[in-house]
Structure 1
């Protein structure tokens, strides 16, 4: 049969990971992010990575971009400042700063950057000129905030700075001196802002201080540790207000008196998220500590809260489970090291949809056969059932009953209007079957606290469950090295799969045969008969734990993924047909679509690889190549028979037929057509000459072929001209040929000397006979 072995992938790689350094152009089109030690420049409108800027081996500590999106400042722990020109794609300036820098600001005309160092020095940098314009000294601790006010050279041209000890300073950039110092804060000042005659500062002491004409007039307690604060004109009003963002993953908007106008919803989870920065474009872009970006519109407060316009995930962290979902199965549901269910569209990979509900990290996800229902299990001990409605998934039911982390979930495998049951397993070592009420007769979201049955299933954590294609049986796989088959209706054990030497990670039913497969930490995959529960095949090739396994090609093939970062494709006779090495870390999850025509793989780095079967296209390409080869061989043979050496030479050279080209050249010499060869050599372009001399170099190694090589070189030197060879690449090839020439010459001289001895011997033999 025709196996599926040839897959090609499209990768969705993390572009914001490691350091929290990031910045965005004022029009919202360019996002610059730290990716470990490197920097990635992304066009958000086209979702294209414009540049990847290689790092200097140290962690990126700060990034900034000019408002016009033309230049980027990059600073690493090595204190090296690099200015990158986006249009040219090159570093245009390097400068060593006096200390590491974690905060910076830019001037609205894209003329200046300001950098705050850990030594308390503020460096103002002229972007076009490439030099320091100001070095402001006066702070006694690390600079923690900077902001500009006014235009270059304006009499109100000022800069405000705050440090980690709570001191705020205002600098006159024209006079190059500090004009105001405030000590209103008791901890790090993380935000300063100007607007007209108003000025504010906010810090991690949870207060905002409002100044007028640089005199403190009010102190406001905002009940959050502040990472960002800024003055602004309120929506649909000329009144002044300000916003704060920071701890509790909370954004708050106030009027100038400190009256709260609105705030984002504070979703309570075990995950301690904070807002670490805010980028102002047409909207406000909140940068979260999990390196995602949430775009909100404070101009639309129809619901009383800022409207969420968009979400971007810089990375997904460890992806523990993945499933194709949606009515067309064109979306991916991800269980990551986050409490929220993440939904992404691979055709629009930067866009992220968050389904909130769980309060702790997700472990597992499963999907119904129509793609409209998702079930998730979390460390919060809850199972949630989600329904697709209005373009997203919403909670339908919350299943409470496990007393530990939920480690595996499954939905029915037969088509239904809605999933009539859910099966779950947890670290409490039990499996539970839950009956789900009809949506048409129930209000939702609903909470279900009683399961249809609960069974103690294993002695250690249950890592996987699967339901048979006819919804009659249940399979479980556990760390206790056992797989078990259960009657789904009664919850009774009907078979035990013994044979693995370490804990099991996954188990799957075959839709087309009475078999089941398991995989585990012993680096093996095993196939089992459901007739007698005996092992039928043992698959060995992975070099580490096998994490996931699936049947494809109507049950005739198996695809597996492991902690070795490899994907392997097998036939059902335990023969490994293909090994795919595309991931650099442990692959936690895979899912298949259309019986293996497509599949997705996700690893511990958050890389998502989307695969589709290319076997048929490759087969057609190989068939066409074979047809072309036969036609070209015939054409070459015809040219030689017709003594059309010019076309024979060029065709053999073009097709890279090394020995056939040699025979064409040899044929030319044997037929005394050296003049034709000179003509051919004179018409070769640089690429053809290089290809020819590479072959001459290879032939020259062999004593049987070197004579032809020397005759070709002799023709070139005597009839084409030495300038023909005067290119660096050809000179290098000729230099490599010379040692072999000397060896061949030495061998010929030895043969000639030997021939003299033979002649002498023959002559002496003749003399002896005469006597």
Structure 2
């Protein structure tokens, strides 16, 4: 079985950025949430957290508005045109996107294609778009302080509204489809109301002292009086009478308000004047606009809230945070009766740079992620990657470490503190059980538990120090069940230390630093065992082999090196093209996975010193690798491109496919030989010869037709070939043309192929035809010259014979 795949990995799942700030819309069925991501709109399945479809990458125009509004071809080619705003139609069949180039695109949700494309005609970029309640109109707000209403069904611009200080960052149609009112909030903190059917401004509602962030309507179903509720960052909620635009009630909230939702459809026991407001400080409150009664529904000071959405069909609230995370709350009648909302789902829209990843819990069920944030994300791999955001640090978390089988997680970072967390696998409840706030004098770059125990751990810092800690339990103190005791401290390196690791027997420690060295230390004392010298630039990572007496290091000098613990010498060296940031042993120490600054992962065989596979899925530096301890059959990678990718071992699958492929080729080879021996069904034999890549056999089949004067059959044979078969035949023809003995057949085949391309280039075109012609031209000229010389000689010989 020589040549079979030795080891191979493939992408199993990819968790990438789907929200980078801006508009968010929720489908009517509550299953999909649509998020703005710079140049595209991402449809995300709430249950799984996976991307369903992306709108904005492959633009295919099916239709357009009027001829005068058609975009130029240059505009269509601007696929990287940023999208500042989008909106979802009420029936969830269309999406409208506004672009910095003043283009408006209308997308079909089902097909993902552009069905209409037109210029917004604003003097400047479009900053906001929204569908009307009836779904037949689109309102666009431009930087030129104007609003335009588009009837895209009848392909007309209904009106242009300019009587306000814009641009409008907040647009809202009256929820009654028969009421032709449009509301907008401008930069002057006022709310404007237009009757767009009559093209006139009805009123201005002034009362807020800061930017109006959200509005909602009250009493719109059978109530004699309609009300409008507005919230602002001036910490005030105002209830307006829509009949005359006067203030009905002003409620001080003492917190900046970011969103508001009417409770008419939320809870059956909620009053007509109840609303839910979201505060910037991470609080959700229930407000009775009539009695001014406040009730706190949820409070999490670790988040800063920005937007609030509600889905009636699933009875859920969605809150968008300033870190581009989306929190889904259960908002049933029972929740409002108990005055408590339960967070049931957390979607991570943007991870920024992923600095570290590690497996957590029994059977590596959970994944802990540090992502250039003061919060830690913990994913449940057995619950559709449901995420728990853990807060406790005051600055960026740089490193994580897990004690195998204990549910304990260590975290450290720029705030110089070390936190110990206990994770409950049943409800994903995370509790901080120990903390040290003054462990180092500079950023903690790496932290590591001892192997298979939680009794010891080590930390290293940019101040060059190494510290080894003992973890002890205090059963008597419930508030602090664990404590850290410093075992010893050492000034390990002259420059910042990047990595620390324990040996499998926990007797040695290894550190790697920017001073171009890695050092070995006794885990029991601060005595130096040895120094590994040889790298010409800073060392980023150091790891002990799980089975051999060797140490692995990776460096900015583009190399991986394996060192003998006995002699402290380099015994193996692996070359890469750029800085190797991380390296891990995999599959019980048989292979190495390395991550580099160019976004490439490489799989190395320790036995053969060969690179078995290059994994290309990241677009930027790869900072972290997490190897599953269960079997080493999968691992995760994360980097500066905000992508977290799960890689699965597909060696067995690849081997089986290779075996099946060889068996199929052997069967086809046998079938071909049978057909050639029996001289039957030569068309099938010709197709098999092309598929198996046998130019000699294809030449012999065509030669047999030519000897039998069946050139028409040759033409019919070529006409039945598909594009891939024509490419293969062209490659065979190239090899024939180089030999003068085969040039006649080669010219015949070329004649048929080229004539087909000229007659129907789209139907019979061969990819790379121009290159083939350039390559074959010198040979064809030589053959033509030789034939001409031979013709002259024959004519001269005929002249001599005729005159004898």
Question: Which TM class, normalised by the smaller chain length?
Answer: 0.7 to 0.9
Where structure 1 has 5 or more consecutive residues not aligned to the other structure, the ranges are none
Q: Give the Cα–Cα distance (whole angstroms) in 2 for the partners of residues 692 and 547 of structure 1.
A: 43
Number of positions where the alignment pairs a residue of Structure 1 with one of Structure 2: 751
Answer with 61-70 or 342-351: which moved more. Answer: 342-351
Residue of structure 2 equivalent to 1:50: 53
Residue equivalent to 2:223? none
8 Å contact from structure 1 (residues 190, 204) kept in 2: yes
Q: 114, 122, 133: which is aligned to 2:139?
A: 114
Q: Is the 8 A contact 2:625 2:636 kept in 1?
A: yes
Secondary structure in 1 matching 2:653 = helix
Contact 1:653 1:691 in 2 (8 A): no
CA distance in 1, matches of 2:749, 2:84: 61
C-alpha distance 193-127 of structure 1, shift in aligned 2 (>3 A): farther
CA distance in 2, matches of 1:223, 1:613: 55
Cα distance in structure 2, aligned partners of 1:61 and 1:724: 46
- Cα shift at 1:649: 2.9
Partner SS for 1:328: helix
Q: 1:373–1:385: 8 Å Cα contact kept in structure 2?
A: yes
Distance 1:199 1:284 in 2: 20
Which one is further off, 11-20 or 584-593? 11-20
Query: Given the alignment, which residue of 712, 717, 720 partners 1:681?
Result: 717
Match of 1:135 among 152, 155, 160: 160
Corresponding residue number in structure 1 for 2:674: 638
Residue of structure 2 equivalent to 1:611: 647
* SS of the residue 1:704 aligns to: helix
The answer on whether the counterparts of 1:11 and 1:610 sit within 8 Å (CA) in structure 2 is yes
Sort the Cα spacing of 1:512 and 1:420 in 2 relative to 1 into closer, same or farther, 3 A.
Answer: same
- Residue in structure 2 matched with residue 592 of structure 1 by the alignment: 627
Q: Which residue is equivalent to 1:39?
A: 41
Q: Equivalents in 1 of 2:545, 2:26: separation in Å?
A: 49
Counterpart of 1:704 in structure 2 is 741
Counterparts of 2:735 and 2:567 in 1: how far apart (Å)? 64
Label 1:731 to 1:72 Cα distance change in 2 as closer, same or farther (>3 A): closer
Kindly provide the CA deviation profile for residues 344-395 of structure 1, in whole angstroms up to 9, marking residues without a partner as x.
2456666322223222221111222226332221322222222332242522
Q: Distance in 1 between matches of 2:793 and 2:466?
A: 90
* Structure-1 separation of matches of 2:562 and 2:722: 59
Match of 2:149 among 119, 124, 136: 124
Q: How far apart, in 2, do the equivalents of 1:367 and 1:245 lie?
A: 35
254 and 468 in structure 1: CA distance in 2 versus 1, 3 angstrom threshold: same
* Deviation by residue 1:736-765 (Cα, 9 ceiling, x = unmatched): 88978787555422321144457789999x
Q: Indicate the residue corresponding to 1:751 in structure 2.
A: 790
Which residue pairs with 1:665 in the alignment?
702
SS at match of 2:286: strand
Q: Equivalent residues in 2 for 1:96-111 (5 A)?
A: 96-97=119-120, 98=122, 99-111=124-136
Taking the TM superposition and a 5 Å limit, the aligned residue runs for 1:16-35 are 16-35=18-37
1:542 counterpart residue number? 577
Instruction: Give distance in 2, aligned partners of 1:142 and 1:106.
Output: 17
Is the alpha carbon distance of 1:71 and 1:3 closer, same or farther for their aligned partners in structure 2, counting shifts above 3 Å? closer
Can you list the C-alpha shifts for 1:159-186, whole angstroms capped at 9, x where unaligned? 2221111122222344332222122122
- Work out the CA distance in 1 between the residues paired with 2:175 and 2:5: 68
Pairwise CA distance, 1:514: 1.2
The corresponding residue for 1:529 is 564
For the 8 Å contact 2:474–2:480, the answer to whether it is kept is no
Relative distance call for 1:18 and 1:754 in structure 2 (3 A) is farther
Shift of 1:64: 0.8
**Superposition CA RMSD, Å:** 3.6
Alignment pair present for 1:261 and 2:261: no
Contact 1:425-1:462 within 8 A present in 2 as well: yes
SS of corresponding position for 2:355: strand
Map of 1:211 onto structure 2: 240
Note closer, same or farther for the CA distance 1:756–1:348 as it changes in structure 2 (3 Å cut).
farther
Q: Aligned in 2, Cα 1:686/1:481: closer, same or farther, shift over 3 Å?
A: closer
TM superposition shift of 1:510: 0.9
The 8 Å contact of residues 127 and 167 in structure 2, kept in 1 or not, is answered as no
Correspondence 1:398 to 2:431: no
Instruction: For residue 662 of structure 1, give the secondary structure of its aligned residue in structure 2.
Output: helix
* Mean CA deviation greater in 93-102 or 73-82: 93-102
| Match of residue 12, structure 2, among 10, 13, 30 | 10
Between the aligned partners of 2:457 and 2:695, the Cα distance in structure 1 is 65
Residue 659 of structure 2 is aligned to residue 623 of structure 1: yes
Which position in structure 1 is the counterpart of 2:61?
none
- Structure-2 separation of matches of 1:522 and 1:53: 40
> Which residue, 685, 689, 709 being the options, matches 1:648?
685
Which is further off, 386-395 or 736-745?
736-745
- The separation in 2 between residues aligned to 1:348 and 1:38, in whole angstroms, is 28
Where structure 2 has 5 or more consecutive residues not aligned to the other structure, the ranges are: 58-77, 220-225
- Alpha-carbon distance in 2 for matches of 1:42, 1:275: 19
Match of 2:104 among 81, 93, 101: 81
Which SS does the other structure have where 1:626 is aligned?
helix
The 1-side partners of 2:130 and 2:667 are apart by: 67
Aligned partners of 2:200 and 2:133: how far apart in 1? Answer: 21
The change in CA–CA distance for 1:77 and 1:43 in structure 2 (over 3 A counts) is same
The change in CA–CA distance for 1:660 and 1:682 in structure 2 (over 3 A counts) is closer
Q: In structure 1, what is the equivalent of residue 599 of structure 2?
A: 565
Q: Which residue of 2 aligns with 1:292?
A: 325
In the alignment, is residue 430 of structure 1 matched against residue 448 of structure 2? no
| Contact map agreement 1:379 1:405 (CA 8 A) in 2 | yes
Partner SS for 1:60: coil
Q: Do residues 222 (structure 1) and 253 (structure 2) align?
A: yes
Distance in 1, matches of 2:19 and 2:502, equals 37
Displacement after TM superposition at 1:336 (Å): 0.8
Aligned to 1:146: 171
| 8 Å contact kept, 2:474–2:482 | no
| Aligned 1:344-363 pairs, distance under 5 A | 344-346=379-381, 351-363=386-398
Q: TM-score, normalised by structure 1?
A: 0.87
Q: Distance in 1 between matches of 2:24 and 2:701?
A: 62
**Residues 407-486 of structure 1 aligned to structure 2 (within 5 Å):** 407-414=445-452, 416=453, 419-438=454-473, 443=478, 445-446=480-481, 448=483, 450-486=485-521
Relative to structure 1, the CA distance from residue 425 to residue 687 in structure 2 (aligned partners, 3 Å threshold; closer, same or farther) is: closer
What is the SS of the residue equivalent to 1:649? Answer: helix
Indicate conservation of the 8 Å contact 2:756/2:765, yes or no.
no
CA contact (8 A) 1:318 1:604 kept: yes
Are 1:93 and 2:119 an aligned pair?
no
Which whole-Å deviations, capped at 9, do the CAs of 1:685-734 have from their partners, x for residues lacking one? 766985686467646744433322556799999xxxx9999644566569
After superposition, the Cα gap between the structure-2 partners of 1:95 and 1:52, relative to the gap in structure 1 and judged at 3 Å, is closer
Pairwise CA distance, 1:650: 4.1
1:496 to 523, 526, 531: 531
Q: Quickly say closer, same or farther: Cα 1:535–1:3, change in 2 above 3 A.
A: farther
Q: Distance in 2 between matches of 1:460 and 1:679?
A: 75
Are the counterparts in 2 of residues 93 and 130 from structure 1 also a CA contact under 8 Å?
A: no
Q: Is the 8 A contact 1:58 1:77 kept in 2?
A: yes
Contact 2:472 2:482 in 1 (8 A): no
- Contact 1:459–1:480 (Cα < 8 Å) also in 2: yes
Question: The residue matched to 1:248 in structure 2 has which SS?
Answer: coil
